Amino acid sequence: MANGTSDGLSICIDDIVKRLKGLTPTSTDGNIFKVPEHLRSVNPNAYDPFIIAIGPYHRDKKDFSMMEDHKMRFLKHFLERRSEREEDVKKYVEALRALEREARNHYADRAADIISDEFLKMMLLDGCFILMLLHRFKEKLMPRTDSNDNQERGNLFSGLIIKRLGRDLLLVENQLPFCVLQKLFSMIDREGNSSLEDMILHFFSYSVFPDPRLSKIYSESDRKGSSETKHLLSFIRDKWLLRCPQKVSGGNDSAKEICWGSISCGNYSGSINCGTGPIKPQPSQNNRKDLKFMRCATELKEAGVKFRKGKEDSLFAIKFKNGVMEIPRLEIRGETESIFRNLIVYENYFTNEINTKSGHVISDEINTKSRHVISDYMKFMDCLINSQNDVELLCQCNILHNCLGDDKTVANMFNSIGDFVTLSPDNYYFDIFIKVNEHCGQKRHKWIAHLRHKYFYSPWAFISFFVAVLLLLFTLTQTVYSALAYYK
């Protein structure tokens, strides 16, 4: 029996040793990764591409076979821009081979399983497709003499297809290392007539974020850090959303100089706090409990809080002062949920990696990227929206513009996104949470709200109340007058 036990233990140890030796090294810089299953299970469609696969995670699915043909056509157009032949593709493959190790390190897993030739082919086809998509979308209003080319452009650049492509290119699992795009772009755009960053902004500002103004605000100073961009989703978040200095009030009279940036949902342009300026002080221990809960919009209204559409072009510039909460307008479209979910997953996964690697000393740049700004915003909105009644109220105040039609669907969207987002103690809106809870805790605000709800809920109710007060005053005056006349 002893020998049998010893033999079994030896086999177990050998198996463990074999598996340990067979483990492939995990990339320490992996910023393109599979969405964790506990997040994916809530809404799988939010993380899966609709019409095109970029990178290794969805490349084997048959649903994208048509777009694989388009990739090959776009590679041909890529070569034609430099009047090159098919055989000239060799120099681009060789250029990407020099980047292969760097590109593989961007993937957290799966990329290690792809042999070198297949990996290079994938990088070339995906990279050329994205670049030509950006090029040709920018030139889509220019007339072309080739009838076949016009037909292809018409099919590919229809409104629905462009929206789906833009949405697919911002999925966490559907990314291509930015260094690949930069290398290929440098090899075909030697004249320098346009920058890669400008083309990216031009495409996304008309597709996923339809606000043409956003494509014109990318300055030369913003391009200096492009070498550190990981991929398109990283670019949109770090180089587009987390920038533009403005002043914002943190729920009190003192304005703080912080860093804001632009984001657009639907036809709305907004901003987020990236925190490169003075950081908000940590809440005291007595106030930490107030961060855990804030009443929904309808209940806050009952407590005397008024809601108004924010005046600033800053989606995340939420303010609360003197019982009035100002929230910038957000347009809810079909792509909104998917974009927010993928931004939050990337933000929470990759920025946590930055925190871990940075140790105790966090530079301004790392501090900017490590902040969960979008997660904080969505958690705030999740607290504010519990039901379709809250959505209806915010729509009436022009804070939400519901393009989906059903208020309950919008409420469910915010609630489901907020389920896996924790309310951190350094949340950007902690001072608003505290101010709102303090406001609602004062009895005079409750009394005024009750009076307003009972007697001033409509013009006719106000008129009735006013007439009743006049009658009461008239009766009182008559009584006093009669009493004075009697004693005289």
- Give me the number of domains the chain comprises: 3
* Distance, C-alpha 188 to centroid of its chain: 31
Query: Is residue 95, in this structure, part of any structural domain at all?
Result: yes
Q: pLDDT of 275-298, one tens digit each?
A: 333 334 444 555 555 455 788 999
In a 13 Å sphere around the CA of 369, the CA atoms on its Cβ side amount to 26
C-alpha span between 179 and 198 (Å, rounded): 16
Query: Is residue 169, in this structure, part of any structural domain at all?
Result: yes
Q: Are residues 436 and 480 in the same domain?
A: no
Q: Are residues 172 and 284 in the same domain?
A: no
Query: Is residue 354, in this structure, part of any structural domain at all?
Result: yes
pLDDT band at 155 (very low <50, low <70, confident <90, very high): low
Q: pTM for the complete prediction?
A: 0.75
Query: Is residue 224, in this structure, part of any structural domain at all?
Result: no
Mean pLDDT (whole number) for 384-411: 93
Query: Is residue 303, in this structure, part of any structural domain at all?
Result: yes
Query: Is residue 208, in this structure, part of any structural domain at all?
Result: no
Whether the pLDDT of residue 128 is over 90: the answer is yes
C-alpha span between 447 and 50 (Å, rounded): 52
Q: Are residues 117 and 175 in the same domain?
A: yes
The two structure tokens encoding residue 84: 């090159």
C-alpha span between 4 and 7 (Å, rounded): 5
Query: Do 49 and 58 contact (CB within 8 A), yes or no?
Result: yes
Closest CA relative to residue 32, chosen from 103, 131, 101: 103
What's residue 291's pLDDT?
54
C-alpha span between 397 and 329 (Å, rounded): 9
363 against 66, higher pLDDT: 66
Closest CA relative to residue 168, chosen from 70, 72, 46: 46
Closest CA relative to residue 59, chosen from 111, 95, 23, 7: 111
466 against 65, higher pLDDT: 65
What's residue 481's pLDDT?
73
Q: Which amino acid is at 171?
A: L
Tell me the residue range of the domain where 95 lies: 37-193
The neighbouring-strand residues paired with 309 are 327
Q: Are residues 275 and 413 in the same domain?
A: yes
In three-state secondary structure terms, 74 is: helix
Query: Do 403 and 332 contact (CB within 8 A), yes or no?
Result: yes
Q: Are residues 325 and 469 in the same domain?
A: no
Q: Are residues 262 and 396 in the same domain?
A: yes
Q: Are residues 358 and 472 in the same domain?
A: no
Mean pLDDT (whole number) for 208-225: 53
The two structure tokens encoding residue 327: 């929230």
What's residue 185's pLDDT?
92
Q: Are residues 300 and 420 in the same domain?
A: yes
Give the helix/strand (H/E) hosting 204. helix 196-206
Select the highest-mean-pLDDT range: 23-27, 160-164, 220-224, 447-451: 160-164
Query: Do 184 and 131 contact (CB within 8 A), yes or no?
Result: yes
What's residue 470's pLDDT?
74
Q: Are residues 71 and 95 in the same domain?
A: yes
Q: Are residues 52 and 89 in the same domain?
A: yes
Q: Is 31 exposed, middle or buried (0-12, 13-18, 19+ CB in 10 A)?
A: buried
Query: Do 195 and 201 contact (CB within 8 A), yes or no?
Result: no
Write down the residue that tokens 């995906």 correspond to. Answer: 126
Q: Are residues 45 and 166 in the same domain?
A: yes
Whether the pLDDT of residue 172 is over 70: the answer is yes
What's residue 7's pLDDT?
66
The neighbouring-strand residues paired with 262 are 271
Whether the pLDDT of residue 246 is over 60: the answer is no
Query: Is residue 337, in this structure, part of any structural domain at all?
Result: yes
Q: Are residues 121 and 189 in the same domain?
A: yes
**% residues pLDDT > 90 (the chain):** 28
Query: Is residue 369, in this structure, part of any structural domain at all?
Result: yes
